Chain A
Amino acid sequence: MNYSSQSVAKLYFIAAIGLFVGQILFGLILGTQYVIGDFLFPAIPFNVARMVHSNLLIVWLLFGFMGSAYFLVPEEAERELYSPLLAKILFWVFLVAGALTIVGYLSVPYATLTKITGDDLLPTMGREFLEQPTITKIGIVIVALGFLFNIGMTILKGRKTSISLVLLTGLVGLAVFFLFSFYNPENLVLDKYFWWWVVHLWVEGVWELILGAILAFILIKLTGVDREVIDKWLYVIIAMSLITGLIGTGHHFYWIGTPEYWQIWGSVFSALEPIPFFMMAVFAFNMVNKRRREHPNEVATLWALGTSIMSFLGAGVWGFLHTLAPVNYYTHGTQITAAHGHMAFYGAYVMIVLSMISYAMPLLRGKAICNGRKSQTLEKWAFWLMTISMVFITLFLTGAGILQVWLQRIAETPMSFMETQDQIAIFYWLRLISGLFFLVGLVVYIKSFFVKNDEFVPT
């Protein structure tokens, strides 16, 4: 760690991992409710557990992104953070606001929550992933503005690198597109159209800039390859992300009442969306092959390579599987979508945050350069356990989805939704078991932070 103010990142990373654990526990509740329908009912109905699961994911990834920025930007700008104090204050504001929101979800019926938080004044709640009370959304905007100010000032007053500028562009985009969450018209078609300006333009747009910037930073550190080479790759990759992804938004506009030309625009451009992910995989492996140093943090390299492969599979391949309009006509809103969502989020965003944590955390904890051998071995086990479990979760959900599409939408005498669900229960059981293995992986991951007497010894 070269600048003492980078240490604020540690808070963010610890919070991220803590919320990650919560996310997985609620994921297991959901997985159980898929096979034992009344599990924990009425204490935690499915919709409540799902809000907690998906909102915790978003919040802990945001903690991860912010922590990454606080670690990365001073090093790139070659100066201390503009205001470490502001970073600490915003951390607590965000954590408390997030915790209160989750407590709200769990302690009162959702309708009560909308009432006591005054949703009628400015209705924004009750839409998928944007379930947060309006007041929480305002809090998110305030935290984002303070964070951008802090990061922006640091960059402005220091060295400006491609990596920090791309990261900043991604983070500004994240804040700007979130503003669409405040637009909730009475017309459901309009509502859905601009809802995607938050959701799609985040995960298939500006978040890819954040992903690219963090990956480029880690690869420079781990491989020692020239910045010029890395920068060129970074720009071409994110160029392809936005060139394909912006109009790729159209793959969400097939069946929500929007004009039918979106079936062509959406199909063509989103069929190209795997390209940047493929390039990212080629990039990561190329840089590691051309490395100019043997960095002893092997597990960070593993995460970085892993994220490039898994994001290509999850976002690229599994996205492409159902993105063409004639296919999507049958697969839209089935377990195929869930399969894609799980592997894409894990591969692209969970793994990049864990890559950054893997690289940065040893430095933040005052180790010379990386964790010792025992700790790295444990973390590698965690990598494989979680990643392979996620592959199986995705495969089982895909199996469930294919069968669901067939029984409910293609067969000569289509079954009802619930009859179909009964038929595909075996896949849900297998998914749940895979989820338990994922939890084991997560426990091993956390254990890897607490290995005693394990300093790295250079050979």
Chain B
Amino acid sequence: MSRFTQNSSRNLFYGGSLFFFFVLIGLTFDTMGGLSKRDHRENITPQVAHGKRIWEANNCVGCHTIMGEGAYFAPELGNVYARRGPDFIKGWIQSQPTGVKGRRQMPQFHLTEEELDAIVAFLKWTGEINNAKWPPNVEG
């Protein structure tokens, strides 16, 4: 340890961090290059983009997860299109809150028919991203 001076430790920090930061940048460039094959971005229609805005404007991620990220209070929605289908999703959002005593409640968001279709389009697109077959089963 005696030959390992303060300078060596400082160099380890600056050199090591910088090196791995560039590795991260390199991997990021590679990821960006190949991403379009997996995210099927050609299918991001204005409706899908609108759906993402509605998703965000109502803070859906405050209760639900999407591809596993978000809050763990309500079901995963990255695969909800496959689990429930479009009509159920729209009907469910419209009928909230259930008002069942003691049960978790989802607010009423007063979405228009057009907005409901957009959110469904967004969830359908999300479900078709190639994300290494996650979640393990349809229950999410």
Contact = CB atoms under 8 A, between A and B. Distances in A.
A258 B35 contact: yes
Contacts of B61: 126-128
Nearest to A124: B56
A416 interface: yes
Interface string B71-87: 11111100000000000
Nearest to A254: B132
Given A45-B105, A126-B57, A186-B52, A417 B20 contact: no
Contact of A246 (B5, B24, B70): B24
B140 A417 contact: yes
Contacts of B130: 257
A242 B31 contact: no
Given A37-B102, A46-B63, A255-B131, A128 B107 contact: no
B105 A114 contact: no
Given A189-B35, A189-B39, A259-B31, A38 B103 contact: yes
A417 B139 contact: yes
Contacts of B140: 408, 417
A47 interface: yes
Nearest to B134: A255
A182 interface: no
A313 B61 CA distance: 28
Contact of B9 (A37, A186, A236, A414): A236
B6 A33 contact: no
Interface string B104-126: 11110100000000000000001
A181 to B, nearest CB: 13
A189 B12 contact: no
B17 to A, nearest CB: 4
Contacts of B137: 409, 414
Contacts of A187: 39, 41, 44
Nearest to A235: B9
Interface string A218-249: 00000000001001110110110011001101
A265 B49 CA distance: 31
A246 B20 CA distance: 6
B68 A333 contact: yes
A34 B9 CA distance: 47
A50 B48 CA distance: 27
Contacts of B39: 187-190, 257
A18 interface: no
Contacts of B101: 38
Contact of A257 (B76, B103, B107, B131): B131
A45 B107 CA distance: 7
B71 to A, nearest CB: 6
Interface string B30-67: 11001100110100100011001101111111110111
Interface in A237-289: 238-239, 242-243, 246-247, 249-250, 253-260, 262-263, 265
B139 A256 contact: no
A115 B134 CA distance: 34
B76 A417 contact: yes
Given A111-B57, A414-B139, A417-B74, A329 B134 contact: yes
B129 interface: yes
B105 A235 contact: no
A238 B70 CA distance: 29
A255 B131 CA distance: 5
Given A111-B58, A255-B131, A418-B75, A238 B20 contact: no
B91 interface: no
B131 A126 contact: no
Nearest to B125: A188
Contacts of B12: 235-236, 239
Interface in A359-418: 408-410, 414-418
Contact of A189 (B62, B129, B139): B129
Contact of B67 (A127, A256, A337): A256
Contacts of B92: none
B17 A242 contact: yes
A48 B102 contact: no
Contacts of B30: 259
B120 to A, nearest CB: 15
Central interface residue in A123, A125, A408, by most chain B CB within 10 Å: A408
A38 B69 contact: no
Contacts of B44: 186-187
A184 B41 CA distance: 15
Contacts of B105: 37-38, 41-42, 45
21 contacts: A37-B105, A41-B105, A109-B109, A110-B59, A120-B53, A125-B59, A126-B60, A128-B71, A186-B48, A186-B49, A192-B69, A242-B13, A242-B16, A243-B20, A257-B35, A259-B31, A259-B38, A262-B27, A338-B72, A417-B75, A420-B139
Given A128-B69, A189-B35, 5 more contacts: A37-B105, A50-B71, A187-B39, A193-B31, A247-B24
8 tightest CB-CB pairs across the interface, nearest first? A47-B62, A126-B56, A333-B68, A37-B104, A255-B134, A235-B9, A417-B75, A239-B13
